[in-house]
C-alpha cells in the first residue's frame, strides 16, 4: 500500500483496486487509505465497491444486460462498455454518467495465451480506430487493459508509446484513460520512480487523468493458505496430503499449471510432493524440499494466496472451505468468516 501511495503522489495517477482479483472487504478500511477506489467486472462487484470500499467506482463488463446497466448506474462513477454496439444500445440508460469504452490496442504482455487480452480473435475491447474517433464525442474516457504480470518496465514503455502513436488523437479528445492492471510495479527492484515519471509525462502529453487498476500488485505476498498434513503416502516420493485442495482453494494454480509457493521450502534433504485432498488426480501443489521430515499434524503454509483465490474458491468434493482470518497491524488475529455445512448446502440449491 505504501508503494502504491508513493506512485500516486509522484505520478498523479489514481489507483483502483481490481475486485476481480481481491474482494475480501474485511481489509478495505485499510486499503482505502492508500487507494482511490475500485474497478469491477460486473454489477455485483460494482455494488460491493460502492458499499464496502466507498470511493470512486469504475464499472466494466464484457457484456451488460439492460437490467444490470440500469442498476449499476446507481453505484458507478464511470461506466465502461466493451464494445461500441453496447454503447449504442445502452447510452440512453446511462445518460449523464461518465462513459467510456474498452480499447484493444493490439499490443500486450502476458506469459499465458489464456490471459492475453490481445490474443487472436479477442473479444475484449474495440480495435477499429476510425469507429472510435467517430464515437469520441460521446465518450469521456477509454480503458486499455493489456498487461498480465508485466514486470518489464522497458516493455511497458514500448507498448505505451505504441498506444500513444495509434490513439493519440483520440486521447486528446478525452478526459481520462485507464491503463488497466497487470503491471507488477510493487515487485522488489521495479523502477518505481521511472514508472511514475512515465505516467506523469503521458498524462501531461494528452491532458488526461491516468488510472491504474492493480489487483495482484496490491496484495502480493499478503496472504497464506494455512494447511495441516493429514497423511503421508508414498509413490516414488513421499506425498504429504494436506487439508486443502488446489482446485477448490487455489484454482489459478491449476488453471495456469503453476506450483504453490510453500513457506520454508528450499534445498533441504527431504523431498515431498504436497497434494490436496480432493479426488482430482492432479490436485497437487508441487514438489518441495524441506529441512525436516513432514509428519501428520505439521503445518504447511502456501504463500502469496490472496490474489485470485477467495474470489474463485468453490465447494468441489464438498470439501470444507478455509476460514478467512485477518492478521491486524497490531498482530491480533481476527477470524472474520467461517464456513460450514450450512453454507455448503445453501450454495447448491
pLDDT band at 186 (very low <50, low <70, confident <90, very high): very high
For residue 96, is pLDDT > 90?
no
Whole-number pLDDT of residue 93? 95
Q: Are residues 215 and 127 in the same domain?
A: yes
Q: Are residues 78 and 154 in the same domain?
A: yes
For residue 336, is pLDDT > 90?
yes
In a domain? residue 345: no
Which residues constitute the domain of residue 308? 225-338
Q: d(Cα 86, Cα 57) in Å, to the nearest integer? A: 20
Q: Are residues 139 and 275 in the same domain?
A: no
Q: Which three cell numbers stand for residue 85?
A: 454496439
Rounded to 10°, the helix 192-206/153-171 angle is 10
Q: d(Cα 275, Cα 287) in Å, to the nearest integer? A: 9
Task: Give 302's contacts (C-beta < 8 A, 6+ positions apart).
Answer: 224, 225, 227, 244, 250, 260, 261, 262, 263, 285
User: How many CA atoms within 13 Å lie on the side-chain side of 5?
Assistant: 7
pLDDT band at 6 (very low <50, low <70, confident <90, very high): very high
In a domain? residue 246: yes
In a domain? residue 349: no
Q: Are residues 281 and 196 in the same domain?
A: no
Q: Are residues 97 and 41 in the same domain?
A: yes
Q: Are residues 190 and 329 in the same domain?
A: no
Q: Which three cell numbers stand for residue 345?
A: 448446502
Q: Which of 184, 219, 254 is the last residue of a domain?
A: 219
Q: Which of 219, 244, 269 is the last residue of a domain?
A: 219
In a domain? residue 129: yes
Q: Are residues 118 and 262 in the same domain?
A: no
Number of domains making up the chain: 2
Whole-number pLDDT of residue 225? 97
The residue-averaged pLDDT of 233-262 equals 96
Chain length of the chain: 349
The residue-averaged pLDDT of 136-151 equals 96
In a domain? residue 299: yes
In a domain? residue 346: no
pLDDT band at 97 (very low <50, low <70, confident <90, very high): confident
Whole-number pLDDT of residue 210? 98
Domain with 184 in it: what CATH number?
3.20.20.10
Q: Are residues 65 and 205 in the same domain?
A: yes
Domain with 257 in it: what CATH number?
2.40.37.10
In a domain? residue 348: no
Q: d(Cα 151, Cα 135) in Å, to the nearest integer? A: 33
For residue 140, is pLDDT > 90?
yes
Q: 257-286 pLDDT, tens per residue?
A: 999 999 999 989 999 999 999 999 999 999
Regarding pTM above 0.85, the answer is yes
Q: Are residues 144 and 254 in the same domain?
A: no
As a whole-number percent, the residues of the chain with pLDDT over 70 amount to: 100
For residue 13, is pLDDT > 90?
yes
Q: d(Cα 246, Cα 283) in Å, to the nearest integer? A: 6
Q: Are residues 108 and 54 in the same domain?
A: yes
Q: d(Cα 299, Cα 118) in Å, to the nearest integer? A: 41
CB 271 within 8 A of CB 296: no
Whole-number pLDDT of residue 15? 98
In a domain? residue 271: yes
Q: Which of 219, 239, 259 is the last residue of a domain?
A: 219
Q: d(Cα 65, Cα 207) in Å, to the nearest integer? A: 33
Q: Are residues 209 and 259 in the same domain?
A: no
Q: Are residues 172 and 242 in the same domain?
A: no
Whole-number pLDDT of residue 248? 97
Amino acid at each position: 500500500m505504501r508503494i502504491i501511495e508513493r506512485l500516486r503522489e509522484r505520478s498523479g495517477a489514481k489507483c483502483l483496486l481490481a475486485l476481480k482479483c481481491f474482494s475480501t472487504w474485511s481489509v478495505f478500511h485499510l486499503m482505502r487509505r492508500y487507494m482511490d477506489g475500485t474497478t469491477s467486472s460486473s454489477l455485483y462487484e460494482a455494488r460491493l465497491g460502492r458499499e464496502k470500499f466507498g470511493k470512486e467506482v469504475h464499472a466494466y463488463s464484457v457484456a451488460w444486460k439492460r437490467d444490470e446497466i440500469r442498476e449499476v448506474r446507481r453505484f458507478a462513477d464511470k461506466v465502461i462498455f466493451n464494445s461500441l454496439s453496447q454503447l449504442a444500445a445502452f447510452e440512453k440508460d446511462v445518460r449523464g454518467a461518465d462513459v467510456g469504452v474498452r480499447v484493444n490496442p493490439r499490443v500486450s504482455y502476458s506469459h499465458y495465451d489464456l490471459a492475453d487480452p490481445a490474443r487472436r480473435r479477442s473479444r475484449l475491447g474495440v480495435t477499429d480506430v476510425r469507429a472510435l474517433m467517430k464515437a469520441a464525442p460521446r465518450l469521456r474516457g477509454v480503458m486499455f487493459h493489456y498487461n498480465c504480470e508485466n514486470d518489464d518496465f522497458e516493455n511497458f514503455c514500448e507498448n505505451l508509446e505504441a498506444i500513444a502513436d495509434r490513439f493519440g488523437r483520440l486521447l486528446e479528445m478525452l478526459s481520462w484513460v485507464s491503463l488497466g492492471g497487470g503491471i507488477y510495479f510493487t515487485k522488489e527492484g521495479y523502477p518505481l520512480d521511472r514508472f511514475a515519471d512515465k505516467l506523469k509525462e503521458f498524462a501531461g502529453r494528452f491532458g488526461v487523468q491516468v488510472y491504474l487498476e492493480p489487483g495482484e500488485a496490491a496484495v502480493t505476498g499478503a496472504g497464506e493458505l494455512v494447511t495441516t498434513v493429514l497423511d503421508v503416502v508414498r509413490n516414488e516420493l513421499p506425498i504429504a496430503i494436506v487439508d486443502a485442495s488446489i482446485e477448490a482453494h487455489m484454482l489459478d494454480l491449476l488453471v495456469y499449471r503453476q506450483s504453490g509457493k510453500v513457506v520454508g521450502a528450499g534445498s533441504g534433504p527431504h523431498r515431498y510432493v504436497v497434494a490436496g485432498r480432493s479426488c482430482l488426480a492432479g490436485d497437487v501443489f508441487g514438489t518441495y524440499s524441506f529441512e525436516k521430515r513432514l509428519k501428520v499434524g505439521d503445518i504447511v503454509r502456501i504463500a502469496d494466496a490472496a490474489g485470485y483465490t477467495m474470489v474463485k474458491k468453490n465447494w468441489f468434493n464438498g470439501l470444507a472451505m478455509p476460514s478467512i482470518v485477518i492478521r491486524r497491524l497490531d498482530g491480533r488475529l481476527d477470524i472474520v468468516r467461517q464456513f460450514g455445512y450450512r453454507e455448503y448446502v445453501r450454495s447448491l440449491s
